Amino acid sequence: MSKYDLTVCQPAIHPKYWPEYYETLCKSCTKYSFELIFIGPHSPEELLSKPNVRYIKSYASSTVASQIGVEAAEGKLVAIPADDGRFFPSGFDEAIKLYDQQNSNKDVIVLRFREGSWIENFVYCGVVHKRAAENPPEYWTCRPHGLFPGHGWYSPGINQDYKLAIHPLMSVEYFKEIGGFDCRFEHVAYALNDLSIRAQNNGSVYHLSPIEVEDCDWRPGSEEHLPIEASAPDDQALFMGLYADVQAGQSRTKIPYDNWKDAPEVWSRRWPNGVTE
């Protein structure tokens, strides 16, 4: 029997966001119990007085940090959002409600989110969209992301109708059963998309959340994002290689859950000169 309905497992490097993050999380998940686990170099000191907040110190990549957090989870479900965002009211309530309506623990909810709402607009599929608007439903599938060169979404081993889930809501038990993240990826987005494809290869059904769940403060090129961006070329190459072959890509499902234990404990791209606080 799980202690909580939900574990929010958060690899974290942005302390300035966390008070609002927690406050909005409480408004997003009002009908279900949740715990919040921060995993990263900085302790969320002002939040540790909360009975449902825990902290695990780690200097590992975001994929390894996430896996460490899930290992400690006491919730039935797990979500891995972004720590530089704020949550929409009732977003988690509606997503968990939808999950509970499914008949299989293999089903996953795609937690729809906005990214960079502070940007006035962006071009998507040749159309200018206001950042305040929701992304269209097709955005959450593999097909349109072939527009981004080098990302590999059109690789032969990927079903183009599969959904992508940068922020999934899924059973902790099933996350472990499918093997969690392939922690050879440093960029958690690639690890999450690899997870979503493996799970759907394994028969999982991905459902879009009824409403958006989070608004992220996405600022490419900022100093804090540089280690993540630096890992992208290697992760792109790994991702594309895994799905370059139709048979190999479509048969990729479960991987060893403990694979994270073989990954470095310190993410050298973030601390190239050794660990500092």
| 3-state SS track over the chain | CCCEEEEEEEECCCHHHHHHHHHHHHHHCCCCCEEEEEEECCCCHHHCCCCCEEEEECECCHHHHHHHHHHCCCEEEEECCCCCEEECCCHHHHHHHHHHCCCCCCCEEECCEEECCCCCEEEECCEEEECCCCCCHHHHECHHHHHCCCCCCCCCCCCCCCECCCCEEEEHHHHHHHCCCCCCCCCHHHHHHHHHHHHHHCCCCEEECCCCCEEECCCCCCHHHHHHHHHHHHHHHHHHHHCCCHHHHHCCCCCCHHHHHHCCCECCCCCCCCCCC
Looking at residue 147, its pLDDT comes to 47
d(CA 233, CA 152) in angstroms, rounded, equals: 11
Which CATH code is given to the segment(s) 4-251?
Answer: 3.90.550.10
Q: What is the pLDDT of residue 218?
A: 58
User: What is the full per-residue pLDDT of the chain (277 aa) written as tens digits?
Assistant: 899 999 999 999 889 899 999 999 999 999 999 999 999 999 999 999 999 999 999 999 999 999 999 999 999 999 999 998 899 999 999 999 999 999 999 999 999 998 765 455 555 445 555 555 678 888 898 877 654 445 556 788 999 899 988 899 999 999 999 999 999 998 888 899 999 999 999 999 999 999 999 988 755 545 566 666 667 778 888 998 999 999 999 999 999 999 999 999 998 888 888 886 5
Sign of CA dihedral 46, 81, 213, 207: negative
What's the pLDDT score for residue 128? 54
> What pLDDT is attached to residue 149?
47
pTM: 0.90
